Structure 1
Amino acid sequence: MPYYLGLDIGGSNLKIGLLSEDNSLIALQERKSGEFLTAEQLMEQINEMLSTLLTEQKISKDDILAMGVGVPGYVDNDKGVILNTNNLSFYNYPLRDKFTQLTGVPILLGNDANFAALAESKLGAGRGYKNLVMLTLGTGVGGGIIIDSKLYTGFNNSASELGHHVIRLNGVPCACGRQGCFEVYASATALIRMTREAILHNPASGLAQYAKEQGGKISGRTAFQAAEL
């Protein structure tokens, strides 16, 4: 029986899904990605996850027809190269060739939010609509645009990098080099920064006390969890 794989390389998590020919999700592997510093270490971790998944499901790599790989940032789809990512250590990295050599599985590489928009238009909430915009919120902010039922990528495949549109002139510096990008105000990373700033300026607050009780560990959920107490 033939299968497909979907890999999501996020700024915080790695996810590999095993799918049947009718796009049904059979199994999912998930691990943290933020602790791995280099692209090569990340690739080793992904290969280990893939091997574990296939072993648990008793499936051979020969049964995998192809794998779709979504990454945050700028991607050269034709060459299979990650040009740059703000939240991961990929820069001009030939991921498609590297991963094909490592696993022997054919790879289709693209921007994660573009792939998400395409999936929603074909299989999810966007079915039946010719035009849609999808916004992805996570470690960063991404976007995907569908026009006339086709993925719109624009110049250099960067048309839908919605997270790096400047919404505040001379605002907070962004990892992309600009200031005031949407991403620095609306992502999980932004929530963590703003929570830390609030604690610093209000050390006697309930938020500061809650964070202290959690051992000082701050996540994008911390402020919301403190507000529920």
Structure 2
Amino acid sequence: MTAHNIVDLDDPNTWPASLADRIDELADEVPAHLDTARDLNNQVGHLAEYDSEIRTLLAGRLLRTYHVTRLLDHEIDHVRTRGLLAVTEGRLAERADRALKAGVITEAERAALRASTALTHEKPFIAQLRLGKVCVISSRQPLADSWPVSFLTYWGGEVQQFGPAWESVDYDHVRRLGRPSVVVAAIDVTCPAACVPGRELLFDFIGTRLGLDGNGVTFHYTADIPGEQIVDIWRPGHPEYDQHLHFPQA
């Protein structure tokens, strides 16, 4: 992976010429009165049929994406070497085991972690929807919203902290383990693993070209994102992280 083959949705200067030209053609069909990229689905929904074409134009390149989380120091090294791993019950258990080995939790806290995941406490059909995926977003724009704060504040993410154990103040320090982190990962959007429920990727490219707000789709990536596709990890003190003044600093 090299910088020249990474496409940044927010920066048209990184788009291959064939993609930029096609997006310009499709953008010409968009009414002038739209305020956000979210309106594109309703106003020019017929353009969704070109999403696979747009993805094909990205063949041989990787799309820059963002995963918002909270990581211990040894987890930073793990992400850099092994990448972002799709959720499984075994990997959730391994994460608790590594935290115990690092001396940041007790045996009792590891037991609570193993017994408190969404896979245990949510309805089975909902829990199954979380398995085998890594969630990343396609644009920096959603990082300006309020939702990233909880992911940056609480260790373990939305899959880990479920069940009665997390309602006790005794586990406050476990919830606040690690440091807030934004993992920048480059993904292949031409492969079947790059699922985008709800809105097609091409609308974000059109939205960027037209200068609209509201860009950013969530990929439910149904495979591991390997370490060689980790571009950067932002933490407090990193200029990209610190420009988001609402992000927690610890």
TM (norm. structure 2) is: 0.23
Which one has a larger percent helix, Structure 1 or Structure 2? 2
Higher fraction of strand: 1
- TM, length-normalised to structure 1: 0.24
